[in-house]
Every structure is written in structure tokens, then in C-alpha cells.
Structure 1
Amino acid sequence: MSYIDTFYRRTIAEDRRFPLLSGTVECDTCVIGGGLAGITTALQLARAGQTVVVLEAERIGWGASGRNGGFVGSGFANDGDAIARMVGPESAHKLHALSIEGMSFVRDTINDLNIASADPIHGIMSVLRYDDGEALKARATVLQRDFGYGVDYLSRDEVQAKLRSKRYFQALRDPQAFHMHPLNYLRGVAAEIERLGGKIFEASPAIANDFSQPEKIVHTDAGKVKARCIVVTTGGYTTGFLPKLKRSFLPIATYVMLSEEAPELIRQAVDTTHAVGDNRRAGDYYRVVEGGKRLLWGGRITTRAASPAALAAELRREMVSTYPQLADLKIETSWSGLMSYARHLMPQIGQLQSNVWYCTAFGGHGLNTTAIGGKLVAEAILGQSDRYNLFKPFGLVWAGGLAGLTVAQLTYWKLQAQDWWRERSSV
């Protein structure tokens, strides 16, 4: 099994494969899913001296974890005001602080393990597509006052000096957030797990289980794992291995494209190394890669995976409508990936039963929240903290099945219409 053709696959630091599981393996904890959440959990447990096994159905980082835009910032898929309405201001404050901790964890891990191929570049700009600078100034004030977290307010003139588009108004620039090569990061962490004695198996999907006894058993096609603890960290590609988990979130597709090499042309539009995202619910996100030679551009969501090539045509139209000067920029490749979204738009972290954990549904904010999710589950297993309980209000709520997908698509179209009207009002 190989990686999906993406910018990340083309630029992966190494392509060594981990073996397929055969026979019986025993360990303290078995982690099911080799994405960001699973690899983080396994790393923290291995650092603490546990024997750890990771089972991955495809390749490490094969799903959305290794195909995403590479943005590492704070926050969740749901916005802060909505979270506060659900759990109250105090818990919302603690949750946002965890999201900042998750971002710092990724940065520290890159530094501690010297994962140079992750190529972290600091700075993310969150831009408005309508005029509302006062709201951004207020947000900057709250972040500094409540979290000691400094971000820079940029006026429209300052934004357009770097992003030469009439679509944009004001922005917040986060100098602590960064963007990176997620697949190289994952493989760097996987190498450290192996160095610490952990075992990673690829092409080894979990197909059956017996969790009825203190010793848990997970079966694959060619082997089985016996473990005291199980952590399930699968996302948008989850199968029916645990039906209750699969029913609790929706697989949502998002799309990314990569331009040809055209550094001079790209610089006419995007003259910054910062990653950029706009304020719409499913807005554009993009960044220059390979030292400014190419533009990586993502956006759009659908409830059914469509042809990446067809969606790339839509993404390209969006890019050109934002930056008419990029009309001649050719697209070299495009791809999609399935994220997992719960109805409440928050991560799902907790226990199905004693010693059987889940850590999933990170939506479009996975690079920081998977890190903190994996860290919290590891802390709980090791008896170090019960901080995972902050996510208890966001349980395994049934996502609605096919009806839920329909509602999600209708909601997305509604949000698109609201975004369009608000932008029109600012013209």
C-alpha cells in the first residue's frame, strides 16, 4: 500500500515501511490508528516506559493526518463562543488553554527530536473577507488578557501589502502558530517510538476484538495483539470495528491542490511566508511551499468524497477570483482526505469501557488538538492526570448517519450563502 499522491508524499524524507503484523504480540497498550492522535499517544506512553503496539490499516499518516494543509495553531473546529455556551466560560477557557498546549507540544516535539524535515515556519494569518476590524482588535485583547497570548492586528493596508487581493480586509497574525510538513513530522515521531522500543505495524487493520476480559485482544488479518489497554484513534476512514464509535461522527472530505513552480508569479499575489486562512466556515487556506516556488491551496468540504480533479477546478476558480493575477498559474496535482466531525464539532476523548479509550473527531483543527488529545489519554492511562474529563461533555453522540450527512451538507450551503451575503455587504 502506498501513500496518496500529494505534495507530502512527493517530498517525504524517507519511505521506509513498517512491517505487517503476524503472529501474537503482547504489550501494555495497543493503539489502533497511525495518525496524529495515535502516534502522539504512543509516543507519550513509550516515553514513560510502557510497551506499545501501533496498528495502522494503511501507512503511518496515510489519512487526513498526512494530507492536510499543515497549519498548527490554537483553537478547535468549533468557535470559542459556542464552546462557552455548551460548557460555561471557565471550562471553555481551560479547553482553549489546552489547544495552545497542543500547539506547543508539536513545536517542542519537532525541536526535541530534531525533525528538520518537518520544516516548521512560524506565522499564520487569519484574514477577514468583510470589514470588521474592531471585532479582531477585541479578539486580540481577549487572547492577551485571558491567556497571555499575543497576536498582531493588521489593518487592511497592512494585509494587502502582503496578500494582494481586494477580497481581504483586516487580519490577525499569530507569530506563535506555524505551518509544517505533517507527514515528515509523523514519520519522525514514529521513528522515535520505535527507538524507545515501541512496535508499529502497517497494512494491519483491526478487524475484530474481544474486550470482555482484563486482557484485551485485537485481531488483524494475520495476527493478534494482547494488551491491558486499548486506545482507538481512527478518524474519517474508521470501519465497523467499533460500531458505536463509527456512528458518532461523520466523514467529511476536504480538498487540496498544488501549483506548478512559479515563484515570481506567486509572489505577485502572496508575498509572505505566513500560512493564510480566511474567516469563512469552510474557507480557503493556503501557504507557499518549497521556499516560495509553489502554492499549496486548500478548501471546500463535501459530505461525499468527490473527484479531487473536479474539486481542484473549483478551488482554482476560487484562487483566481481571490487573486486574478494568478490566472496563468497551473495546478500540478490535487488530492482529498476524509476528516471526522462530531455533531458538536469538538474532539471526542474518553473511555468506552474500563481500559478501552477513544480519541477522535478532530475536524479541521487536528494538528494541535490531536496532540493534546493523545497527550491527555496517555496521562490518564499512566495515572498522571484526569484532564481528559474536560472533554466529557462532548461524548459519542450519534451523528445521524445518512440523514446527518444530508443535514451537514445543507448546513454548509447555508453557511456559504451567509458568507457570500456578508462579503457582498462589505463591497
Structure 2
Amino acid sequence: MMSKAATSYAGDGQHTASYYAASANPAPVRPELIGDQEIDICIVGAGYSGASAGLHLAEKGHKVAIVEGAQVGWGASGRNGGQVVNGLNASLQTIEKRYSRDTANFVASVVQEGQEIIREKIATYDIKCDLKNGNIFAGYTDAHLRELEARKALWESYGHHNQEMLSRAQLREKVGSDVFSGGMIDHSGAHLHPLNLVLGEAEAFEKNGGVIYEHSPVLSADTEAARPVVRTAKGAITCKTLILCGNAYLGHVVPTLERRVMPVSTQMIATAPLGDALAHEILPGDECVEDIRYILDYFRLSADKRLIFGGGLVYGGTDPADIEAKIVPNLKKVFPQLSDVKIDFRWSGNFALSFSRVPQMGRIGSNTYFAHGYSGHGVTGSHLFGRILSEAVDADLSRFDTFAKVPWIPFPGGRTFRVPYTVMGAWWYALRDRLGL
């Protein structure tokens, strides 16, 4: 099937004015796709999924090109909270209940693989991305703590023993705030500079023979052909295998995928450097933190001791008029000692939400593969799915087929009503959070 044409989604293709872009490692100027090219494997999207799949394939000797509409890491991979969180958005309990124990067993067997891949690539290629260990889930209510205790018990039933409950006093030793009732730490979780991670993976991909074309928005993709063709404004690539990793920014290029997910924006701010004393006061353990409400806040310290604080959702993927007005009040509730702190950076970015909160992987035609819909848990999930995509292209379909068989659930009301429907659902869950239910 020939996809519809699309215009550039990325303006001039430069990175958004985030703290990550301002502190990014140097990256080379990469060419646009010009003229007609042929390659064994073409990947659309130079974020984590594309970089992970491409690097795994290039390491095996495959000839691979990545086509990126803007710059490496321009989308969610270069804008996210930098939190390496194990698991999917949908819990193992939800997956077991909704699909089957066998599916949950399979998911449980891979939920920590994403962070293992990240650590492996950082070590192998000496990627400078400020990796720090520890991921804390914080609860506001007794109900939240019971939820965390149930999660810990369930993960232990699947053989994972990396989580530890924290009492109110124990959490207070790690997070300098009095708003939480307690929490849980995942000792195998982590946090890092997300843009520098994907820039390092792109460099590793190129060292293994891969080619990246930047500033080349895909206008159409013939996904059903025996030899798929990707077209941009100035060129085209014909390939034996096509992998679609555009996620929230694939837009209208492939209509059959567009209706499967919805772009949702989340907002972030970065303070001025806090200095050693204040940074130690608010996060003495230097772990990253997220609360477990439906519309959650997440925060951590950067390498230069800024507080990076994110949260908020805008369904449909639009940017709010005033990011600080949306985020700073929550920051002050958690850390009133930062009421007068200067905000140096503010930015927004989209992730792809699936209705089930389970990522999707599949195939269109015989030679086009895709992965998307990480639903806000994409740092680890994208690295895992990138590896599984590379396995499928390399003729090992065992794990790919397991994920591809998981049913996807369309948004009620289709594309027209998916935003208002989801907003109504979010309003309900936010109300439950406020009421402590």
C-alpha cells in the first residue's frame, strides 16, 4: 500500500530548546537523502527504536541505513525524563489478567532486558551519558503503598528480586520532601542524559558501517511492496526490508499505523544549577523518582545538579501555552524549598500512547516491520523492541511473533474522538488520585 504524503513535522529540524540539547555531546553534520539509493535494510526514525534495531543489525554485518526527518534523537528519545524504568506502562498484573499467564510469563522474562541493553551499549562503546543508578516509585497514600507492595510481590513471583519497599522515613532519607507516604526502589533502574545516549548509539551504528540521513522527512512509504520504497523530498531508498520506528512522529505517512496510537505531549523544566548542598538536600541518594498517580510527576538531578522535573499531559500532542505554569506548581508542592529557584529550560515532547498501554510490534505486508506505542515507558521498551526487530529481520521470529500476536485495542471513537474520550478517562483517574482512591 502506498502511504499518503506528509509535510515536515520538525520545522527546521533543529533540536528543541531543552537542557539536553544545550548540554549535548558533539555530533557530526549528517547528509540529507538525495537521489535514488538501494540498501538491504532501511529504518525510518533515528530515535531509540531505530538506533537500537540499526545497531544490533549493523553489529551482525547487515547493510543498514536510517532515514531521519530532523536530527538523531529529535523526538522523544532526546527529550524524555531520562529515567531507565523497568517494565511496560501496563503492569504484569494487567497483562496477565487481560491476555494470559503465558503472555505475562513472556513479558516478565524480558522486562529488565531493555536496561541491560542500555548498560551494555554504554559500556561497549564508552557512551558519555551520565549514567546513575536507582529508580524510586513514590506513593502519596496508603493505597499507593499497597499497590507498590502488590507489584513487588508479583515481580518476585516471576523471579525478579531487585525491588525494595521504603517506609515514609526511609523514603525521606532519599527524597527531601514531606509529601510522600513511602515508596519502592528498583535497584536495577537508573537515569541518564537521554539525548547523549542516542547520539552515542548513532555514532556506534556508524562505526559498524551504518549510514544515517538527517533532515529527510519521509513523504511516503510503499510498505506492501516486495522491495519497500521510502521517498523523501529529494530522494528515495529501495530496500529488501523496511523497519518503521517513527513512533509519535510518524504522522500520516502510514495510515494503518496512525490509528493505532495517539501522540501525547509531556512537559519538562530544568532549574538553574542548585549547588552541592541544595542538591543533596532534595535528592541525597541521587536516584530518579516518579510518583505512581495516573498523571504523574517525575524528577531527578542532572550531572551539573539541576533539578529536571516533568509531568502533565496534553492528549493529541499539542504544546501548552505556558509550560512553567503547568509544571512549576507541582515542583513547589514536592519541594517548597525550591519556591524561588530559577528555571533555565522548559520544553515539551510527544510520546505515542496505545489504548492498552502495551507497546505494539508487527508487520505490514511481507517485508515491513514496525514498533511503537511505548506509552511513556519508551527508554527501556524501545531498546528491547529494537533488539527484537533485529532478531526478526535476521530470521529469528520467536520473540517477535509473541509480541505481534498480542491484540491491539483501537481507541473508542476512532481518530475523530480518541482525544476527547481519552481526556475524559484521564479526568476520571485524576479525580481518583485527588480523592486518594
State the TM-score, normalized to the length of structure 1.
0.94
1:236 aligned to 2:220? no
2:265 corresponding residue in structure 1? 253
In the TM superposition, what whole-angstrom CA distance separates every residue of 1:198-237 from its partner, at most 9, and x where no partner exists? 1100011221233454222111111111100001011212
Q: Which amino acid aligns with 1:296?
A: I
1:208 corresponding residue in structure 2? 220
- Do the aligned partners of 1:69 and 1:298 also contact (CA within 8 Å) in 2? yes
Which whole-Å CA distance do the structure 1 matches of 2:129 and 2:282 have between them? 25
1:418 corresponding residue in structure 2? 432
2:383 to 355, 358, 371: 371
1:21-420 matches, within 5 Å, as 21-115=33-127, 117-132=128-143, 133-263=145-275, 264-291=277-304, 293-305=305-317, 307=319, 310-395=322-407, 397-399=409-411, 400-420=414-434
- Do the aligned partners of 2:352 and 2:375 also contact (CA within 8 Å) in 1? yes
In the TM superposition, what whole-angstrom CA distance separates every residue of 1:130-181 from its partner, at most 9, and x where no partner exists? 1254553443333234223321221111111222322101211111111011
**1:392 shift after superposition:** 2.7
The 1:90/1:396 distance shift into structure 2, 3 A limit, reads closer
Q: Aligned-residue CA RMSD in angstroms?
A: 1.7
**1:306 shift after superposition:** 5.0
Please give the secondary structure, in 2, of the residue aligned with 1:417: helix
Which whole-Å CA distance do the structure 1 matches of 2:375 and 2:150 have between them? 26
- Do the aligned partners of 1:350 and 1:358 also contact (CA within 8 Å) in 2? yes
The 1:135/1:207 distance shift into structure 2, 3 A limit, reads closer
- Do the aligned partners of 2:247 and 2:373 also contact (CA within 8 Å) in 1? yes
Which whole-Å CA distance do the structure 2 matches of 1:80 and 1:211 have between them? 33
Structure 1 segments (4+ residues) deviating >6 Å:
none
- Do the aligned partners of 1:68 and 1:182 also contact (CA within 8 Å) in 2? yes
Please give the secondary structure, in 1, of the residue aligned with 2:58: helix
Q: How many residues align?
A: 421
The 1:306/1:358 distance shift into structure 2, 3 A limit, reads closer
Q: Which amino acid aligns with 2:45?
A: G
In the TM superposition, what whole-angstrom CA distance separates every residue of 1:310-345 from its partner, at most 9, and x where no partner exists? 132221101111222211112111100011111111
The 1:144/1:81 distance shift into structure 2, 3 A limit, reads closer
**1:32 shift after superposition:** 0.6
Which whole-Å CA distance do the structure 1 matches of 2:409 and 2:80 have between them? 26
The 1:130/1:385 distance shift into structure 2, 3 A limit, reads same
Which whole-Å CA distance do the structure 2 matches of 1:81 and 1:336 have between them? 31
Which whole-Å CA distance do the structure 2 matches of 1:158 and 1:188 have between them? 36
The 1:319/1:334 distance shift into structure 2, 3 A limit, reads same
Unaligned runs of 5+ in 1: none
- Do the aligned partners of 2:174 and 2:283 also contact (CA within 8 Å) in 1? yes
The 1:240/1:267 distance shift into structure 2, 3 A limit, reads same
Unaligned runs of 5+ in 2: 1-12
1:19 corresponding residue in structure 2? 31
Which whole-Å CA distance do the structure 2 matches of 1:65 and 1:222 have between them? 26
Which whole-Å CA distance do the structure 1 matches of 2:183 and 2:107 have between them? 24
Aligned identity (percent) is: 26
- Do the aligned partners of 1:244 and 1:396 also contact (CA within 8 Å) in 2? no
- Do the aligned partners of 1:309 and 1:335 also contact (CA within 8 Å) in 2? no
Q: Which amino acid aligns with 2:299?
A: Y
In the TM superposition, what whole-angstrom CA distance separates every residue of 1:42-96 from its partner, at most 9, and x where no partner exists? 1111111110010000111100111000111211111222211221122112113
**1:396 shift after superposition:** 5.4
Which whole-Å CA distance do the structure 1 matches of 2:224 and 2:371 have between them? 20
Which whole-Å CA distance do the structure 2 matches of 1:88 and 1:259 have between them? 44
The 1:209/1:305 distance shift into structure 2, 3 A limit, reads closer
Please give the secondary structure, in 1, of the residue aligned with 2:74: coil
1:6 corresponding residue in structure 2? 18
Which whole-Å CA distance do the structure 2 matches of 1:295 and 1:138 have between them? 30
In the TM superposition, what whole-angstrom CA distance separates every residue of 1:285-306 from its partner, at most 9, and x where no partner exists? 0001124x21000001111445
Please give the secondary structure, in 2, of the residue aligned with 1:14: coil
Q: Which amino acid aligns with 1:403?
A: F
The 1:40/1:289 distance shift into structure 2, 3 A limit, reads same
Q: Which amino acid aligns with 1:14?
A: P
- Do the aligned partners of 2:27 and 2:199 also contact (CA within 8 Å) in 1? no
